[in-house]
């Protein structure tokens, strides 16, 4: 075993310059505990709101594998979600059962700290940012979408992807949220090959819709949150457009193009209105 600070080290926070209430909680924890993770740990890595919890549900329901997290009280005591994903709370406190040690699977949203095996899930960056904003608001945090796009809560969406670089990182299974949720059979085959295990069940997890406004970790219908304004779209493109293009996600016009098209549409509407009046 080797010693790894459980949330990626305080260097991560300083390097990406993130702020906000969640970061304060992380700093407090980082100052208290260093977890010695087993050498055979497999990181379940993603930017927040990318489908990490759904991946954990698949690993539990189809392979019978419990998963832990680098974050204590990761699911805020939500017993229903904990049962659906096979959450093992002891991992975040450095307490490993014999069953868990067979294949320690550990969720993290942190930047990589070692070369251990990993399963990395990526999701359309716009959807991640919008969903994260909605999630944090539901938790009672005072946050706006601009701050999340700029990376002031969990860091930058694109920087997180580039840090892990799952397409070229050795011993890493790269999954897309869109295929994770729409191509179950293909996802199951890739997981089975990577884990070198045969699934005990080959049916998707039976997810139960969570009641109330949230926050929701797991839901049959993923929410994207409120749409971005044209200014937010322009900022997102400027900060993350290069990674969106690399991953093949749809890009949108930059701010000047949006304004130009809006003006053209307004001009055409005015012409049509004028023509109707003179008829």
What per-residue confidence (pLDDT) applies to 220?
47
What per-residue confidence (pLDDT) applies to 150?
97
What per-residue confidence (pLDDT) applies to 224?
56
Rounded CA separation 225/205 (Å): 24
In angstroms, the Cα distances linking 126 to 142, 167, 169, 196, 224 are 20, 20, 24, 34, 8
pLDDT tens digits for 251-265? 875 445 444 444 454
Mean pLDDT of the chain: 81
What per-residue confidence (pLDDT) applies to 29?
47
What per-residue confidence (pLDDT) applies to 76?
75
Expressed in percent and rounded to 5, the helix, strand and coil fractions of the chain are 45, 10, 40
In angstroms, the Cα distances linking 215 to 26, 53, 218 are 19, 13, 9
**Is 183 a residue whose pLDDT tops 50?**
yes
pLDDT tens digits for 57-79? 999 999 999 999 999 988 877 77
- Of 209 and 88, more confident: 88
Among 183-187, 258-262, 266-270, the minimum mean pLDDT is found in 258-262
Name the pLDDT band for 213 (thresholds 50, 70, 90): low
Asked if 99 and 78 touch (Cβ cutoff 8 Å), the reply is: no
**Is 199 a residue whose pLDDT tops 60?**
yes
pLDDT tens digits for 125-177? 999 999 999 888 888 889 999 999 999 988 999 999 999 999 999 999 999 99
**Is 56 a residue whose pLDDT tops 90?**
yes
Rounded CA separation 84/57 (Å): 6
**Is 195 a residue whose pLDDT tops 60?**
yes
Task: List CB contacts of 165: < 8 A, sequence separation 6 or more.
Answer: none
Asked if 85 and 216 touch (Cβ cutoff 8 Å), the reply is: no
What per-residue confidence (pLDDT) applies to 138?
84
Full-model pTM: 0.80
- Of 48 and 214, more confident: 48
């Amino acid at each position: 075993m080797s010693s790894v600070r459980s949330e990626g080290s305080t260097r991560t926070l300083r390097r990406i310059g993130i702020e906000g209430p969640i970061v304060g909680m992380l700093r407090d924890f980082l100052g208290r505990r260093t977890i010695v993770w087993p050498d055979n740990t497999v990181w379940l890595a993603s930017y927040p709101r990318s489908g990490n919890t759904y991946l954990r549900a698949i690993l539990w329901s189809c392979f019978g594998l419990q998963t832990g997290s680098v974050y204590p009280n990761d699911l805020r005591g939500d017993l229903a979600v904990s049962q659906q994903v096979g959450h093992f709370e002891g991992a975040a406190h450095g307490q490993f059962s014999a069953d868990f040690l067979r294949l320690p699977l550990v969720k993290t949203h942190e930047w990589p700290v070692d070369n251990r095996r990993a399963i990395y899930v990526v999701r359309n960056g716009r959807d991640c940012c919008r969903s994260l904003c909605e999630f944090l608001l539901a938790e009672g945090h005072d946050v706006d979408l601009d701050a999340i796009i700029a990376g002031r809560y969990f860091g930058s969406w694109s920087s997180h992807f580039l840090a892990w670089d799952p397409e070229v990182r050795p011993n890493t299974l790269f999954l897309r949220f869109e295929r994770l949720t729409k191509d179950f059979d293909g996802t199951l085959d890739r997981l089975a090959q990577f884990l070198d295990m045969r699934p005990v069940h080959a049916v998707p997890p039976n997810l139960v819709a969570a009641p109330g406004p949230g926050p929701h970790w797991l839901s049959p219908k993923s929410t994207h949150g409120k749409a971005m304004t044209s200014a937010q779209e322009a900022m997102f493109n400027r900060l993350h457009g290069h990674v969106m293009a690399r991953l093949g996600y749809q890009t949108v016009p930059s701010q000047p193009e949006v304004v130009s098209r809006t003006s053209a549409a307004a001009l055409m509407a005015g012409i049509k209105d004028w023509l109707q009046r003179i008829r």
